[in-house]
Amino acid sequence: MRRALLLLPLIPARAFSSLARGRALDAPLLDAITAKLPLRFSATVHANLKPRPNPRRAAVLISLCNVHGEASLLYTLRTQHVGSHRGQVSFPGGHIDEGETAEDAAVRELREEVGFPGGVRLLGRFAAEVPAITGTLVSPVVGFLEGDHLDVGGLVLEEQEVEMAFTRSISSLLEPSSRIHEELGRGARIPAFVAGAHEPKIWGLTGWLTAQLLDEVVAPALREAEQ
């Protein structure tokens, strides 16, 4: 028996921001996001980032959350005291310890770096590891920090590693004016996200992961949720 295809109308890019504005990450939307994981992506942008022989492995938690009832993402700004990626924006994460899964490491690092005390619903992960500029292989894990409002000011930061934690709403990240592209080298261009003049720029691997999640997972899930 042939299965019928669900054809969804095309929605202009700017309209995705409107779909997300004021929209919480509720059960139907989280289920739609989960159904699109694991995310399989084209790694052509990272073709020139080769992992080292016997590379270390790390995991990051792409942390979806609600802020005042609106779907958002949690980021951290690394201090100048860490060994790598100083002063850069990142998702909570770090190296995978012996005996840990990527999911174990991602949630552990979330607790250690920002002290989030609540429940974490693991939604899935990207289908492949991504090489960072350092050669470390990174497993991106997608999770939802449970609750209607994440109080960033109430998080307890690991002061040696994290200078600040902040959130960006999904609707603001989906605004076409917030996305720029930067040269990575060897002709490759990578997305980055900007806000106000005094707001941290989301760039590098974190910017690329953000774009992949928005384009391939979140925006389609929002569109389907509106049908």
Confidence band for 196, pLDDT divided at 50, 70 and 90: confident
Confidence band for 9, pLDDT divided at 50, 70 and 90: very low
**Among candidates 153, 86, 156, 84, which has minimal Cα distance to 117?**
156
Give the tokens for residue 8: 């969804």
| Residues facing 75 on adjacent strands | 166
pLDDT in tens, 131-150: 887 888 999 999 999 999 99
**Dist. CA 63–CA 71, nearest whole Å:** 11
pLDDT at 10 over 50: no
Question: To which residue do tokens 């990240």 refer?
Answer: 173
pLDDT in tens, 55-100: 889 999 999 999 999 999 999 999 866 655 566 899 999 999 999 9
3-class secondary-structure state, position 106: helix
| Helix, strand, coil % over all residues of the chain, rounded to 5 | 30, 30, 40
Q: Contact at 8 Å (CB) between 87 and 204?
A: no
CA distances in angstroms from 66 to 2, 45, 92, 136, listed in the order given: 40, 30, 17, 30
80, 83, 89, 91: CA torsion to nearest 10: -140
